[in-house]
Amino acid sequence: MKITVIGCGRWGSLITWYLDRLGHDVSLYGRAGSRNMQEFLKTRKNDLLTLPESVNLTTDISGAKDADVLIVSINSQGLRDLFEHDLSTLNLQNKMIVLCMKGIEISTGKRLSEVVEKLTDPSNRVAVWLGPGHVQEFYAGIPNCMVIDSRHEDVKMRLVDSFSGELIRFYYGQDLIGNEIGAAAKNVIGIAAGFLDGMKLSTLKGALMSRGTREIARLIESMGGNPMSAYGLCHLGDYEATVFSPFSHNRRFGELYIKGESFEALAEGYYTVAALHRIAESSGVELPICEAVYRVLYEKADFHIEMDALFHRSLKNEF
């Protein structure tokens, strides 16, 4: 298939490398002012991988009009701007738009697929690509399993068939709401895990995982999804990569926050927890872990007090 990947960060570049390896005709788009794109144009490299000559590198987004598939891998809070401005003049139709990103729009509380469906022609069909894995591991040849989900069964079938390989085995998602919410929320759990690492309380990660999965299952159910999705690849199945891995941006962000050190890379959980806070306020669903993370990050609450209260609560009432 002819594919345009929008976003030249670590995931966008890995997706480009992977799909080119499978034999697709792939273009990678990045804005002209992007340092990542400038480095690719000069050397075809970033700090993790090298893109082969078969990949087309471009700063002209109009090429997306000729693609069969658009894969979007950018900051979740920039998604609306991309479709309202950068892509609006292209009048895209009959495209498969795949969101390889995790988050919830803060201003509306909408899932990312909902945002795109409202901003694009009805002939375009939206899917999500999510699940565990890190760029460093995939590029080193270490395989993993991921999920593709969509409201359109034929889109899922075609994408899973076209994108599966020895490096990534794809599963068919059966719950778009649950998969999107679970994938976004696991980044918040990753930040909480980082808090524990920073406090030298890593042994509590078992309790965090148990409580976190149950908490997000309640959230998914309250939003109309299947609560069992929280126990699949979108959430619990991604904990090893998010809660424990040294490559996890969200875990690392949480750890350095506790230590009073800065973290320059994107940690999507920081934005997702603000969206989940709004959802919890409006819906009444109880999210003790997410609310504790929110209070620490946005209200500057004392993380020792928040973590102590959180785990004392868990001991009193497991479920």
Rounded CA separation 105/55 (Å)? 31
Classify residue 169 by its DSSP letter: E
Distance CA 319, CA 315 (A): 10
Residue whose token pair is 């020792």: 304
Per the CB < 8 A criterion, the answer to whether 27 and 56 are in contact is: yes
Look-up of token digits 């969206």:
275
Q: What are phi and psi of 167, to 5 degrees?
A: -85, -35
186 is catalytic: yes
Of residues 186, 205, 259, 316, which has the active-site annotation? 186
Where do the DSSP E strands lie in the chain? 2-6, 25-29, 56-58, 69-72, 96-99, 125-130, 144-150, 168-172
One-character DSSP codes across 69-103: EEEE-S-GGGHHHIIIIITGGG---S-EEEE----
Task: Provide the angle, in degrees to the nearest 10, between the axes of the packed helices 249-259 and 176-198.
Answer: 30
Report d(CA 140, CA 268) in Å as an integer: 24
Q: Supply the residues annotated as catalytic.
A: 186
